[in-house]
Chain A
Amino acid sequence: MKKPAFFLGFALLMATAVTAQPQTGSVLIKNATVLTVTNGTLENTDVLVRDGKIARIGQGLSAPGGVEVVDATGKYVMPGIIDAHAHIALSAVNEATDPVTAMVTMEDVVNPYHIGIYRALAGGVTTSHLMHGSANVIGGQNETIKHRWGYTNPDDLRFEGAPRTIKFALGENPTRVHGNRGGGSGKAKVPATRMGVEAVLRDAFEQGLRYKEAWERYEAERRRNPRAVPPPYDLRLETLADILRGDILVHCHSYRADEILMLLRVLKDYGIEKVTFQHANEAFKVAPELAAFGAYASVFSDWWSYKFEVYYSTAYNAAILTRNGVVTSVNSDSGELNRHLYHEAAKSQRYGGLTDDEALALITINPARQLGIDDRVGSIEVGKDADLVVFDGHPLSVYAIPVMTFVDGVRYFDRERDPDDIRLHVDPEAAVDASRFVTDEDWHALEATAGWLFQF
């Protein structure tokens, strides 16, 4: 059987996948309009990638021997899109059994076989922040991945060196899951109200603080007394202590302005400085307060009214926040939306009149800053990771289509070579249904309005 070269390359890639570090690539992209995001737009410019890093940006660059040249005349190159809120590529989303589940981590349930990764690549997304669901006030820790499609070992998708982050959730979801629990799955407990959410947060931090102090006392005593007894180990409290130490960035599911201010007060009381408000539909009401705190916001461009707490919303949210100096991103929270985040960024521009760079920053450098990876990705600069997307038109145009997506200089998506069946694993027994359009995977990630997320 004649296999196209692409598939041979693909097979090779898969064969080498587990043996070593993920592959990096070299490529010269010629003659493109380069949207650097941080240094403006460069016409007729070449980008040289060597071993996964951006080596040179300029005109008339020549390819070193063996380096492939991509002619991007008439095309646009932008940094790989970063989705600051995703639930693709996961085997589980919510450990919804307790209001505080800081001990679990999405790192343990990354699913590299999930087709959502390839679909995201087809939409120019190269990095996703895989988040725990919003069932708990303090949910699990999140995981930042690169979309290295074809690798099956979860370790190979990890964004090396990305800071730890954790999911918090305020408002209706945690109060519904825990406060209104009944009918055979345990008794209702705090929080049943927004007051309760704050109480759970403060209680958790107090416990974390005490845990941290107990271990510090032990470490000090150990030096004097070799028979000192270590305090009980508690992974949940240890994680909370790490938040208090500033080792974990907080990403908080939130909608209403009052609860956003509440969390700012709580964080201030416990000396926690880094926070990104996720969804944050009413963040525009408290934009100056967010800016003063140094808090970030990661919002939908125009998704609202799917439950009571999200009726007071506006498509000007991202623009108002940006103009008030809040580092803002637009995210997907969905395996569907993340395939056209460039449209989502364009909507914020359409409503709020952001500049091109401001609009593109919503899906590149700003989410990178929120995830603590802006030294590596989020803009086209020499020395940064070669996570790049080539568009056939300006990415903020509704007509634009991503044609190639690179991660670490490796081309993982190419519209020219995009067969129907790109799955890494095929169930050997399940019924083959050729006419099915919608799969479970499409429903894997919605914000959690879907009741099944909380069924247990």
Chain B
Amino acid sequence: MIASHCLVTRSNAGRLLAVLVPALLLGVVPVRAQEAGDDLPRVTRTHAITNARIVQAPGRVIERGTVVIHDGLIVAVGTDVEIPFDAERLPGDSLVVYAGFLDGLSHVGIPKPKADQNRERPDDPGNPPDDYAGIQPQQDARTMLEPGDKSVKDLRAAGFGAALTVPHGRMLPGSGALVLLHGDDPDAMVLRGDVALFAQFQGALGVYPATPMGVMAKMRQLYREAERRRLIQQRYDTDPAGLERPPYDDVHYAFFPVIEGKKPVLFYTDEALETYRALRLQRDLGFPLMLAGLKQSFDQIDALKEAGVPLFLTLDLPKEPKKEAKAKQDSVEAEMAAQYDPTLRTATYRDLEAERRNLEARQRESRERYLKNAAMLHEAGLRFGFSTMDVKPADIHKNLRLMIEHGLPEDAALAALTTDAAALLGVSAMLGTVEPGKIANLVVTTKPYFDKDAKIRYVFVDGVKYEYDTKEKKEASGKEHPTEPSSPER
């Protein structure tokens, strides 16, 4: 860091600050080692945040109230609440309490497997072993969880208490689980398993299916053959006499709950074309579908409306253009008006500058569409949650603010982080609001969360408190202190 200091010029020092400061404020800079003293019992599992502004749900606010947490649940919320004798009192003056955020799709808590370099390529690339081709729908996120993984800590520090997490892989990496971002052991994280069959248009390397069209064809093959196997299995289960024993394999059998409509396929789609492909597969095969990613959905609002499936929009946004290409006007609209000539026809060699100006203005306009994406989905009346799949936790707050600046109402953003996400994941009874009876997942901020300089003070997951240093310091600290060790009985 010191060495690089001398390289920091005035101009890019500003940029560096712009990146680092919000990160510092939110306390999401890499946290030091794991909490100590795991073997000690907790002092108490009761907490009371007093005198705080409580946003129970988007638009439902208690200005000065108290939230009581006991044994992992929210037990009381209101202005006239009796605080239990054993509660740890947390003065909430000037603090704001929200329901813990939900992440609709990521790999949180699942370490990325190391690539096996030495693995030999299959002899027949047209018919490779399923796992080599990335076809592993029988895998289960529950068996891959590591509560101590850095990703858990980082996402929790950004305010998230629960996530739908899925295995890493290619076309069909396995089933996702809804997990709490906390736990003494992997099992303790699991809120609900087998939530969705994760799929993506990720071809295999050098073997079938290598291309998106291969992935499409393979999906049809697997699904239709699974339908057939389910049929004969059912027939066999009813009366095996005289029937050949049905073939068993875990790949096809993993599709059975999907075929029965009990489990959706959760497709991660990057560009608009992938979303169309997922919708096409759904139309052809008829499985229940959920979509995540969707960063170009501004081009397909009507198709998404027609599909009527749960959506989890990526929290990733295009990077800002390089400094030299930055807009000189206040708004991109003004910039476009001043600089963009949609009818420009020039031979490049005659007026390179005019062409460059035009191309850069057009690119800024394109970025704007990405920033308006969430607002457009909202305006179209589509309900969505968010996915943290491709975003650094440190960028989440900044990107949410950009979406809000581009027309997404704050309440809609909050709903996407809490109530709507819970509804789309089918866990509204447990998560998503600050109400008695729900799991004690909370985010406590120093200012309204969407304010520029809001900082996260506490995150509660499953009733366990994580505290963040909100003092502004030069050095990166943002330490996470769970003030109590985890309870051994869990």
Contact = CB atoms under 8 A, between A and B. Distances in A.
A451 interface: no
Contact of A187 (B124, B213, B346): B124
B362 A1 contact: no
B342 A7 contact: yes
B121 interface: yes
B217 A187 contact: no
Contact of B342 (A113, A152, A419, A427): A419
Interface in A110-129: 111, 113
A447 B391 CA distance: 40
Interface string B304-323: 00000000000000110110
Contacts of A419: 342-345
Contacts of A63: none
Interface stretch (A225-233, A257-265, A395-403): A225-233
Nearest to B124: A186
Contacts of A235: 217, 220-221, 224
A153 B207 contact: no
Contacts of A154: 273, 276
A105 B273 contact: no
A109 interface: yes
A161 interface: no
A62 to B, nearest CB: 32
Nearest to A232: B225
B213 A95 contact: yes
Contacts of B101: none
Interface residues of A, number: 60
A3 B342 contact: yes
Given A92-B211, A229-B244, A97 B125 contact: yes
B336 to A, nearest CB: 7
Interface string B222-252: 0011011001100100010011100000000
Contact of A18 (B121, B235, B280, B303): B303
Contact of A95 (B210, B227, B321): B210
Interface in A80-136: 91-92, 94-101, 103-106, 108-109, 111, 113
A189 interface: yes
B213 A1 contact: no
Task: State which size class the interface on B falls in.
Answer: 35 or more
A185 B206 CA distance: 7
A276 B267 CA distance: 38
Nearest to B126: A98
Interface stretch (B170-178, B350-358, B395-403, B482-490): B350-358
A434 B125 contact: no
Given A227-B235, A227-B243, A153 B276 contact: yes
Given A111-B273, A429-B318, A233 B213 contact: no
Interface in A149-185: 152-155, 181, 184-185
A3 B343 CA distance: 9
B410 interface: no
Contacts of B124: 98, 186-187, 189
Contacts of B209: 95, 97, 104
A347 to B, nearest CB: 28
Contacts of A189: 124
Interface in A245-287: none
B267 to A, nearest CB: 14
A153 B221 contact: no
B325 interface: yes
Contacts of A95: 208-211, 213-214, 217
Nearest to A430: B363
A226 to B, nearest CB: 9
A246 to B, nearest CB: 22
A155 B345 CA distance: 31
A105 B217 contact: yes
A185 B125 contact: yes
A97 B228 contact: no
A428 B370 contact: yes
A232 B228 contact: yes
Nearest to B214: A95
Interface string B367-405: 101100000000000000000000000000000000000
Interface centre among B123, B208, B232, B244 (most CB of A within 10 A): B208
A449 B359 CA distance: 33
Contacts of B58: none
B300 A108 contact: no
B327 interface: no
B359 A432 contact: yes
A230 B348 contact: no
B344 A420 contact: yes
A3 B336 CA distance: 11
Contacts of B365: 426
B117 to A, nearest CB: 12
B342 A108 contact: no
Contacts of A227: 235, 239, 242-243
B344 to A, nearest CB: 5
Interface string A174-204: 0000000100111101000000000000000
A304 to B, nearest CB: 29
Nearest to B365: A426
B443 to A, nearest CB: 30
B122 A186 contact: yes
A256 B11 CA distance: 64
Given A18-B303, A104-B217, A186-B122, A434 B225 contact: no
B481 interface: no
B346 A420 contact: yes
A78 B275 CA distance: 38
Given A186-B125, A429-B319, A432-B360, A108 B366 contact: no
Interface string A9-24: 0000000001100000
A7 B210 CA distance: 39
Interface string B258-274: 00000000000000110
B374 to A, nearest CB: 15
A96 B210 contact: yes
A437 interface: yes
Contact of B366 (A18, A98, A153, A427): A427
A419 B344 CA distance: 5
B188 interface: no
Interface in A424-442: 425-429, 431-432, 434-435, 437
A213 B465 CA distance: 66
B211 A109 contact: yes
Contacts of A92: 211-213
Nearest to A423: B362
A420 B299 CA distance: 22
A97 B206 CA distance: 7
Contacts of B243: 227, 229
B302 interface: yes
A197 to B, nearest CB: 16
A1 B340 contact: yes
Nearest to A112: B273
B277 interface: yes
A4 B342 CA distance: 8
A234 interface: yes
B352 A435 contact: yes
Interface in B154-211: 205-211
B216 interface: yes
A456 B126 CA distance: 12
B20 interface: no
A18 B302 contact: yes
B61 interface: no
B337 interface: yes
Interface of B: 121-127, 205-214, 216-217, 220-221, 224-225, 227-228, 231-232, 235, 239, 242-244, 272-273, 276-277, 280, 296, 299-303, 318-319, 321-322, 325, 336-337, 340, 342-346, 348, 352, 355-356, 358-360, 362-363, 365-367, 369-370
Given A186-B206, A230-B232, A425-B366, 14 more contacts: A7-B343, A95-B211, A97-B126, A101-B214, A101-B217, A108-B212, A108-B277, A153-B300, A186-B121, A230-B231, A232-B228, A426-B366, A427-B366, A456-B205
